[in-house]
Structure 1
Amino acid sequence: MDLQKSSVTAAFLGWIIGIVSCALPMWMETILICSDRTLRKTLEGLWRMSLLEGNSEQAGCKLFDSTLPLSSGLLASRIFCVISIVLGVPGVLLAVMSSKHINCVEKTKTTVAMAAAVTLICAAVMMLVPVGWYVYTVVVSLKFPAPELGMKGLGKSFYLGCVSAGLLLTGGALKLPCKKPQQEILNFLGQCTIYMD
């Protein structure tokens, strides 16, 4: 697989995974041990919360109540996640248009490739904002624990957001219109061997 196909594939997969991570209510997990020794697990996402009671794994999912004031970090995470998904659309389309197999923009392929790279890298940076905010929230809750609020941890959507940002960044970096450095880097990585003791 050449660099053109790799960059388009990475960008497309990063965009799809970004959509999934934004939609799933699994950014942060809160586990609370109730007075009757039952576990109460709450999964918090950007748009809704799920409540899992005990070991039954029966979820009750609800949207965030609009009457309660949402934190500014959650609102910013929503905005940046949506901006990342919206930026992913032209980024992936420009990446496809600038590949060597498409002949519709033959004279301006370098300009289109540069636009695709910048758009995909911007989308990756936008996806890193919600990821960073949730890491900050969990670290602060671990540093200053409040047992009555439960123990917080990172959920599956957080990791999907990290993978999405990484793939979008990879797709954008591979689209940068350079003459030889990309192939030289790949050749160097192919020659490297990791020795395990």
Structure 2
Amino acid sequence: MKKASQYFSEEEKKEIADAVLKAESLTSAEIVPVAATSSGRYDRAEDIIGVFFGIIAMIVVWSIAPHSNTETAGSWGNAPVALFLILSVIGGFIIGAFIGSRIGWLRKLFTPRSELSESVKDRAALTFFDQRVHHTSSESGLLFYVSFFERQAVVLGDERVEKELGNEAIESLCSKFTQSLSSDASPAESMIAVIKEAGELLSEVLPQSETEQNELDEALVCID
């Protein structure tokens, strides 16, 4: 699976940092851009893939196993055949689970979309605290979080940002950010565009003041 840091060149990382600085020059809000490879482990999907492979392996073994006659062909009383069937299920499960852990699109195929969305939201909320976005003196932190495995984005604002900017505007930024991930724009272009728009919106409700200090780093945070 491609790591989050591999989606951005060094030049693009610098452009994102510059976009944050430019946006923050218009507002007292603190903007933190974060990109993650994945927001969840999705072990359940690996187990489902393992079961699927185990069943296929059992069917294959049963179809090629020698049978003494038609009366005992379907009988589990034939110890050698039963043993091979059990081993085929176990072996198929292990192989399937291993393949599922290595092939991202296959694991995603067996994971409900609702679970993907919840994992992204939960990881974004955790990142909000880990990156101290909630810890600015003016309570005006704003997180832009993108998770590439799920192709989803989350925008989270601290108390003052939510109050002044409003949930509707934040949700609009999040929607545009998520949609841009499926467009022809690069991840860097998508992030820069949404940061620029956020800066313009925030400048109207949380304008920059001379006493404001930059409390959070403007660099893109990559969680590989």
TM-score computed with the length of structure 1 as normaliser:
0.25
TM-score computed with the length of structure 2 as normaliser:
0.23
